[in-house]
């Protein structure tokens, strides 16, 4: 991007997440971190900006936006997802009041820029395509209001994110991205609308350089591969990336990885073995529902005609803890769905079970269908775990809301929650690389002993689990404590959301 004469001070701004299940806010306090992950989109955009421009990141999840940040900036680049819209509106109003030029991009704006009249320029879709045209026009003071694209960039040209802009000490994990896009076509998901069906990957050399960069910057903790579906291109994984990661770990890195994948991972023992060997110890999987009718309705073909409990257990036994996404509120759901979901989740030992009410996100096939049927009511909050929905469900609205509330209450009550941890630990094969024990984790353990073991209403479950794990699965003790802390976060979030 050399060649831009203009010199700019760019403030990269990331809005606040609401207090939700995914924020892990109440768990992060135990390890004295402010947020789970840095804003990788903004850090990637920063790397695409001219080198000569000065850049500063303010992620308001980890620190406040100060007046002097605004005074310093010539232009503000703001990102975000729909769940951050409230904070984004507030930040934009502050930047506008300070007279700054505002440039916005990322999923929140790509799917609904019309709601932000105060933004000067929208640079939508993937910045690798739209940003160069904007920068050229901006330099000549001819920038348009909206830059959008229908083509998808080749990630082999994407530069490494500028991690040095993030204050790494404040985050629980770092993130990298190997691929974008997903071969599947679930009707509620906006990933394919934004990133297409053909998984596009970076090269192995790019990934190793990114990981080396993080390591050189002093990062020693876990790293999240934020791919929509990490196993979208199995060949590239098996033949190139995973062998290289195994080699990378051999230099004594000991870095735990986690990611997202589809359930067909369970069909490929070789792929699971390589992933575990490479340091993966956790995977998030969209399971959605144990009901065949619900899976057919949302076109989740890859989950159909399977024994999903057996699949989850196979993945756990391979050494990957499964976190699961679940949905209630499909048209085909009847009031029995709540009990069915609980039964499934308890049996499968998915401790971190993110159960959401179906929401229709703009740009998805679900949104189009509900629009045609005249069933949309208002905007989505973008967070399907806050107990709201933006369409008229087939099930009675009150029954849905009440059933959801009951489900969440039962799922995260200490009894069933701690039972699930045991179910998991019975199956879970030892991961190759587990989270390292360090001073911070030890302090978290001591805090957990006091907050959960003495003052928590789960105290008997807590000590019971620790003793059980100590004798039956001693290597999993750190994981057991981590999951106890997550449970505390989930229960607190349920209370905050009135669930
Ligand atoms: C990592 C991640 C998270 C992390 C966020 C960490 C963080 N600090 O960013 C965590 C786990 C916390 C998270 C949580 C949630 N997430 Co999330 N998450 C992702 C994921 C998997 C990767 C994001 C990422 O880092 N991508 C890599 C970067 C490089 O890509 P990018 O951010 O898109 O950036 C590119 C462009 O968008 C653009 N761009 C981005 N920002 C900007 C800014 C400017 C100025 C410009 C010019 C360009 C630009 O350029 C970049 C390079 O091309 C995406 C899926 C995806 N594929 O993006 C979902 C995704 C963003 N999440 C989503 C959702 C719904 C959620 C939750 C609401 C889930 C829930 N039900 O609770 C929660 C919300 C959190 C909360 N507490 O309320 C949706 C967002 C939908 C939407 N339209 O808003 C996505 C798209 C997934 C999906 N299936 O729909 N998430
Ligand atoms: S498998 Fe996941 S990322 Fe792919 S379309 Fe379905 S929900 Fe979206």
pLDDT at 1 over 80: no
Residue 250 dihedral angles phi and psi, to the nearest 5°: -60, -20
Cβ-proximal residues to 214 (8 Å cutoff; 6+ apart), any chain:
163, 174, 176, 223
Pocket of ligand 1 contains residue 37 by CB under 6 Å: yes
Position 6 pLDDT exceeds 80? no
Ligand 1 touching residue 103 (CB < 6 A): yes
Angle at 216 between CA 215 and CA 220, to 5 degrees: 30
By most ligand atoms within 8 Å of CB, the mutation choice from 181, 185, 189 for ligand 2 is: 189
Task: Starting from the CA of residue 298, give the closest ligand.
Answer: 2
| Mean pLDDT (whole number) for 171-178 | 97
Q: Please identify, by atom number, the ligand 1 atom nearest to the C-alpha of residue 103.
A: 45
pLDDT computed for residue 436 by the predictor: 67
Backbone phi, psi, residue 482, to 5°: -55, -45
Ligand 2, residue 182: give the atom nearest the CA.
4
Cα 293 to middle of ligand 2, angstroms:
18
Helices 127-139 and 40-48, packing angle to 10 deg: 50
190 ligand 1 Cβ < 6 A: yes
| pLDDT tier at 2, thresholds 50, 70, 90 | very low
Ligand located closest to 47 CA = 1
Q: Positive or negative CA dihedral for 160, 166, 167, 168? A: negative
Q: Ligand 1 atom 5: the closest Cα is on which residue?
A: 37
Pairing verdict, β 121-123 and 223-225: unpaired
Q: Quick check: CB of 361 below 6 Å from ligand 1? A: yes
User: Average model confidence (pLDDT) for the chain?
Assistant: 94
Nearest atom in ligand 2 to 183's CA: 4
The residue to mutate among 11, 35, 107, 128, having the most atoms of ligand 1 within 8 angstroms of its beta carbon, is: 107
Helix runs in 298-413, H state only: 308-318, 337-348, 365-372, 397-412
For the CA of 360, the nearest ligand: 1
**Element at 77 (helix H, strand E):** strand 75-78
Predicted local confidence at residue 427, as pLDDT: 94
> Does the structure show a pLDDT above 50 at 242?
yes
Pocket around ligand 2 at a 6 A CB cut-off: 182, 184-186, 189, 191-192, 228-229, 262, 286
pLDDT attached to residue 449? 94
Place of tokens 């003793």: 467
Report the share of the chain in percent with pLDDT over 70.
98
The pLDDT, as a whole number, for residue 256 is: 95
Rounded distance from Cα 80 to ligand 1 centre (Å): 7
Which residue has a Cα nearest atom 8 of ligand 2? 189
**C-alpha 106 to ligand 1 mean position (Å):** 8
The encoded tokens of residue 422 equal: 């045991």
Give me ligand 1 centre to Cα 39, in Å.
Answer: 8
Weakest mean pLDDT among 123-132, 344-353, 388-397: 388-397
Index of the ligand 2 atom closest to the CA of residue 325 = 7
Mean pLDDT of 386-404: 93
Per-residue pLDDT, 382: 80
Residue with CA at minimum distance from ligand 1 atom 72: 383
Confidence grade of residue 4 (pLDDT, cut at 50, 70, 90): low
Q: How confident is the model at residue 124 (pLDDT cuts 50, 70, 90)?
A: very high
Per-residue pLDDT for 470 more than 70? yes
Mean predicted confidence (pLDDT) in 334-350: 97
Q: Judge whether residue 173 has pLDDT over 90.
A: yes
Ligand 1 mean position to 75 CA, how many Å? Answer: 22
Task: Flag whether pLDDT at 78 surpasses 90.
Answer: yes
| pTM, rounded to two decimals | 0.96
What's the rounded Cα separation, in Å, for the pair 326 and 296? Answer: 15
- Other C-beta atoms closer than 10 Å to the C-beta of 365 total 18
Pocket test for ligand 1, best of 34, 41, 76, 130 (most atoms within 8 A of CB): 41
Least distant ligand from the CA of 261: 2
pLDDT digits (tens, 9 = 90+) for 306-332: 999 999 999 999 999 999 999 999 999
**Mean pLDDT over residues 27-39, rounded?**
95
- CA 177 from chain center: how many Å? 12
């Amino acid at each position: 991007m050399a060649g831009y004469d203009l010199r700019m001070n760019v403030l990269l701004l990331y809005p606040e997440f609401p207090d939700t299940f995914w924020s892990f806010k109440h768990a992060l306090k135990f390890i004295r971190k402010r947020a789970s992950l840095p804003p990788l989109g903004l850090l990637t955009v920063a790397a695409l900006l001219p080198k000569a421009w000065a850049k500063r990141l303010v992620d308001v999840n980890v620190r406040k936006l100060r007046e002097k940040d605004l005074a310093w900036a010539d232009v503000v680049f703001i990102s975000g997802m729909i769940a951050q819209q409230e904070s984004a509106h507030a930040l934009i109003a502050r930047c506008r009041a300070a007279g700054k030029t505002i440039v916005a991009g990322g999923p929140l704006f790509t799917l609904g820029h019309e709601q932000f009249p105060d933004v000067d320029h929208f640079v939508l879709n993937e910045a690798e395509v739209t940003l160069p045209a904007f920068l050229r026009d901006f330099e000549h003071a001819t920038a348009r209001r909206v830059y959008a694209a229908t083509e998808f960039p080749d990630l082999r040209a994407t530069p490494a994110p500028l991690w040095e802009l993030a204050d790494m000490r404040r985050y629980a994990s770092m993130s990298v991205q190997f691929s974008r896009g997903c071969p599947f076509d679930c009707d509620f998901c906006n990933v394919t609308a934004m990133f297409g069906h053909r998984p596009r990957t970076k090269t192995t050399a790019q990934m190793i350089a990114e990981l080396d960069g993080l390591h050189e910057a002093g990062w020693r903790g876990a790293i999240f591969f934020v791919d929509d579906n990490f196993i979208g291109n199995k060949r590239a994984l098996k033949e190139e990336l995973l062998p290289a990661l195994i080699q990378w770990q051999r230099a004594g890195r000991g870095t735990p990885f986690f990611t997202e994948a589809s359930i067909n991972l369970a069909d490929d023992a070789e792929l699971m073995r390589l992933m575990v060997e490479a340091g993966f110890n956790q995977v998030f999987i969209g399971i959605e529902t144990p009901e065949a009718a619900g899976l057919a309705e949302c076109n989740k073909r890859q989950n159909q005609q399977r024994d999903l409990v057996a699949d989850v257990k196979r993945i756990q036994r391979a050494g990957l803890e499964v976190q699961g996404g679940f949905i209630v509120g499909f048209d085909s759901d009847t009031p029995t769905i709540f009990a069915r979901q609980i039964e499934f989740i308890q049996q499968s030992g998915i401790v971190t079970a993110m159960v959401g009410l179906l929401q229709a996100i703009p740009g998805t096939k679900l949104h189009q269908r509900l629009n045609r049927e005249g069933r949309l009511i208002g905007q989505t909050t973008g967070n399907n775990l806050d107990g709201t929905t933006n369409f008229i469900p087939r099930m009675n609205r009150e029954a849905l809301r009440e059933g959801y509330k009951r489900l969440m209450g039962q799922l995260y009550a200490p009894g069933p929650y701690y039972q699930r941890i045991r179910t998991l630990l019975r199956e879970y094969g030892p991961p190759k690389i587990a989270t390292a024990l360090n001073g911070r984790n030890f302090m978290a353990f001591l805090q957990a002993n006091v907050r959960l073991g003495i003052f928590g209403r789960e105290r008997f479950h807590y000590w019971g689990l620790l003793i059980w794990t100590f004798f039956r699965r001693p290597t999993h003790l750190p994981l057991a404590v981590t999951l106890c802390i997550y449970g505390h976060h989930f229960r607190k979030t349920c209370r905050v959301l009135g669930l």
